[in-house]
């Protein structure tokens, strides 16, 4: 029997991640500092990280609600949609780009416009 034996190499087995029973969508990781933030806290702070003040993206309607007094905003031309009048040809069609952006933003057009009040004054926003 040899004093030194050569052992057969066996690769390490990866541990399977365990499900913790925490529902998804409760926490968000900050892109600025890496802090894990409870979504309720993030909502109350208007999408701003309480630790590093990183500003998460806000949608157009969310921003308008924050700007207008009492969150009241009257949208104009809500059903207006862009159309491909020129039938532009490119790598991807303009119609497919419009469809993809509508799905991504949830908005029918690139612009949201309307009226509201800021500081008690009637204003037009867009």
Give the global pTM.
Answer: 0.62
Cα angle at 62 between 47 and 99, to 5 degrees? 110
- 26: region left, alpha or beta (phi > 0 left; psi from -120 to 50 alpha): alpha
Q: State pLDDT tens for residues 5-29.
A: 777 777 777 766 666 666 778 999 9
Q: State pLDDT tens for residues 48-95.
A: 999 999 999 988 888 998 899 988 899 998 888 888 888 878 888 888
Q: Domain locations in the chain?
A: 24-57, 58-126
pLDDT reported for residue 86: 86
pLDDT reported for residue 122: 95
């Amino acid at each position: 029997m040899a004093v030194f034996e050569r052992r057969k190499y066996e690769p390490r087995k990866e541990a399977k991640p365990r499900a913790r029973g925490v529902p998804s969508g409760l926490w968000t990781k900050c892109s600025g500092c890496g802090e894990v933030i409870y979504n309720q806290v993030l909502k109350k702070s208007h999408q701003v990280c309480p630790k590093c003040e990183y500003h998460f993206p806000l949608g157009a309607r969310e921003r308008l609600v924050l700007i207008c007094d009492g969150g009241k905003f009257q949208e104009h031309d809500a059903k207006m949609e862009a159309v491909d009048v020129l039938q532009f040809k490119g790598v991807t069609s303009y119609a497919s780009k419009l469809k993809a952006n509508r799905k991504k933003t949830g908005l029918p057009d690139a612009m949201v416009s309307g009226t509201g009040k800021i500081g008690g004054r009637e204003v037009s926003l867009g």
